[in-house]
Amino acid sequence: MSIIIDTDPGIDDAIAILYALNHPEQDITALTTVAGNIGLSVTTRNAGRICALAQVDTPVHAGAAAPLGKEANPELGIHGTDGLGGVVFPEPLFPPASEDGVGAMAAILMAHPPQSVDLFCLGPLTNLALLLEQAPEAANRIRRVIAMGGAVDEPGNVGPKAEFNIAHDPHAAAAVFAAGLPFALIPLDATRKVRADQTYIKALRDTGAPAAIASAELINAYFAATNGAESRPLHDPCVPLLAQHPELFRLEDRKLSVDLETGALVAGEHTIKVAMGVNADGARAALLHGLSC
């Protein structure tokens, strides 16, 4: 199964990408980038840096530089000006590919048999919304989309009910929800349960594996913004974990829409599969194994 990762790296994006690139059963065909946690030039460079650390030549395609219909609002306080919390990564081995992110998505989907390519969305859904608009035939060949975003019963992290990825581009999320694609959403209701402590960081370092060691440093940077014994939630790794270990997640059908003013998820007309629970211990164990294999 081929996979496109659409991303805005981002500390937790980087851990998710390292897991996916390192996992023998996840065939990452391309990374497409989007402005989100930080601007597009930095997210694109970071995607290349992550590939360099993983020692892969996976192509990186720069996608949308701004959300649809509103101003960008990056999250520098958590991820830092470099997007990776100051953790040292090598420079990209190759420049970004000449084809833009949406064009690359369309080309990959048309080159593969229908329903044989998955899309992992770790950031705002801008690129997918543009794909639906510009290349609907290609979009309809997606086997499934797994996206991190939203808050259902949990409070939001950029507003009372709004989560960053959805709120950064609510118009894109609304278009994706309405498209009827095979779609699974992992909201804060699940991701907030997946956190790491210093014992977990040590276990990652002790593996000696480059992806695990880098992830330990990234998680350690996540502690800088907390006062407790656990890191900030490991949101984005839940996406490749759900793909690889669906038994760890409790999926429910919810009828949802997106409030275009606030970016909050509200009761609506679109039936979405939503991860409302997770076996957090199992997720941490699977992440550790995948980063060290």
The catalytic residues are: 235
265-267, strands of its sheet edge to edge: 60-62, 27-33, 2-7, 117-121, 142-148, 183-186, 270-278, 249-258, 265-267
Beta bridge partners of 266: 257
Q: State how far the Cα of 193 lies from the Cα of 224, in Å rounded to an integer.
A: 19
Both tokens assigned to 249? 């997640």
Report residue 187: phi and psi, to 5°: -90, 180
Q: State how far the Cα of 149 lies from the Cα of 248, in Å rounded to an integer.
A: 18
Q: Which helix (H) or strand (E) holds 12?
A: helix 11-22
Beta bridge partners of 76: none
Helices (H), 135-235: 136-139, 164-168, 170-179, 188-191, 198-206, 210-223
- DSSP state, 118? E
Contacts of 73 (CB under 8 A, 6+ apart): 168
Cα within 13 Å of Cα(162), Cβ side? 18
User: Residue 261: is it exposed, middle or buried by C-beta count within 10 angstroms (0-12/13-18/19+)?
Assistant: exposed
- DSSP state, 33? E
Tell me the residue type at 39: G
